[in-house]
Amino acid sequence: MYIRNAYECSFIPGACRFRTQLRRTSLSPQIKPRFKLGWCFCLTISISFSASAPGTIRRRYRVRPDAGNAAGAGVRVQAAAGLSMALLSDVHTSLPSPEAGGESFFVRGSYLYYHYACDGFKDQGWGCGYRTLQSLCSHIRIAKEAKGMTGFRDDEPTLREIQEALVAMQDKPESFVGSREWIGSFEVSLCLDFFHDVSGKIIHLSSGSDIPGIVPDLVKHFKTLGTAIMMGGDSDASSKGIFGVHLGASRSYLLILDPHFTGHATVEELIKKEWVSWKPSDSFMASSFYNLCLPQFSSVSDR
């Protein structure tokens, strides 16, 4: 099946019409999309791509765990130039609830916190989507290891590998490799399939004011699958990860991991400066549209 153009679309409540909002991409003949449409406050599209074999792009660095499994226990990233920098894991576990009472729903299993320049590569100002993708990939990789699965890559893709993958899938031109162009939730869904054979469910919201309305869907996702979620927008162009939801007495909150941190992190610093924080679901920009990518993979170990 050959699809020339693919779109992320939104349903406009009340106006009873569709709006193509985001992107147009050229897909190669071997890619086979499968669409599932469901009605909410928006149109949700579940896309699964069958692309080239995961892990076929050259690896630039490897992730090696350090001793210890406590929250925040580091792993060490070895970059191509020989630079080594520690990454933190499960950085949300020390974060208190946003309010007394209520109920919280979190990612299931462990992950690594990727952020600006964490491997020595200077991507400040444009690499937030890539770093969020790396955090999501680490979560899926660690879950696969816990399940005893085999045949998957044992490290996260570098920024260049991500760009090369998007070019290989004909989503981007060759000039994209080595550029400083951003990526969003749609590109993240493509790369999750490319590197881990995991499809991504895209939820498009025409306004941040619609986010409280999809909180039940996010709760269901964390209860059934437990994987971290990618979040991107336009006016709010800062890509970020959603790693949990809290239902309070009168408000709901999203647990946000912000990849814009630069430096050698500690869990205490990340929490104090709100790089890891609870954000009220009604606090996002009403003037910005948002796209969420929900990986369709269960991170719950069945061992």
Question: Is residue 16 annotated as a catalytic residue, yes or no?
Answer: no
Q: How far is CA 49 from each of CA 27, 160, 195, 203, rounded to the nearest angstrom?
A: 10, 21, 11, 17
Separation between Cα atoms, residue 288 and residue 204, nearest integer Å: 11
Count Cα neighbours of 83 within 13 Å in the Cβ-side half-sphere: 10
Strands across the sheet containing 112-113: 62-65, 75-78, 84-89, 112-113
Q: Residue 273: count other Cβ atoms within 10 Å of its Cβ.
A: 12
Convert 133-175 into a string of H (helix), E (strand) and C (coil). Answer: HHHHHHHHHHHHHHHCCCCCCCCCCCHHHHHHHHHHCCCCCHH
Return the DSSP state at 66. Answer: P
Q: What is the DSSP letter of 29?
A: T
Q: Coil, strand, or helix at residue 217?
A: helix
Measure Cα distances from 57 to 104, 153, 168, 243 in Å: 38, 10, 9, 28
Hey, what are 110's tokens? Answer: 């462990």
Provide mean pLDDT across the span 237-245: 94
Report the DSSP beta bridge partners of residue 151. none
Nearest to 87 by CA among 58, 62, 124: 62
* The pLDDT value given to residue 237: 82
The whole-number pLDDT of residue 40 equals 39
The SS3 call for residue 200 is strand
What's residue 265's pLDDT?
80
CB half-sphere exposure, 102, CA atoms < 13 A = 16
* Helix axis angle, 159-168 to 185-196, nearest 10°: 90
Is 258 among the residues known to form the active site?
Answer: yes
pLDDT the model gives residue 293:
98
| Residue 51 CA to its chain's centroid (Å) | 19
Mean pLDDT along residues 241-258 = 97
Instruction: Provide the β-strand partners of residue 43.
Output: 39
Residue in the structure block whose two tokens are 């050959």: 2
- Average of per-residue pLDDT across 241-267: 95
pLDDT tens digits for range 147-178: 999 888 889 999 999 999 999 999 999 999 99
Tell me the whole-structure pTM to 2 decimals.
0.77
In tens, the pLDDT along 196-215 reads 999 999 999 999 999 999 99
Q: What is the pLDDT of residue 248?
A: 96
Q: Identify the CA nearest to 129 among candidates 284, 234, 44, 244.
A: 234
Mean pLDDT of 76-100: 74
User: Do the beta carbons of residue 220 and residue 227 sit within 8 Å?
Assistant: no
Catalytic residue among 119, 193, 210, 258: 258
DSSP run (H or E) holding 185: helix 185-196
pLDDT-derived band of residue 85, with 50, 70 and 90 as boundaries?
A: low
Q: Is 193 a catalytic residue?
A: no
Catalytic residue among 234, 236, 260, 282: 260
Confidence of residue 74 (pLDDT cuts 50, 70, 90): low
Catalytic residue, candidates 42, 128, 137, 293: 128
pLDDT of residue 221: 98
- What Rg, from alpha-carbon coordinates, does the chain have? 18
In the chain, where are the structural domains located?
9-295
**Out of 78-82, 186-190, 249-253, which region has the weakest mean confidence (pLDDT)?**
78-82
Q: Span 9-295: which CATH code? A: 3.90.70.130
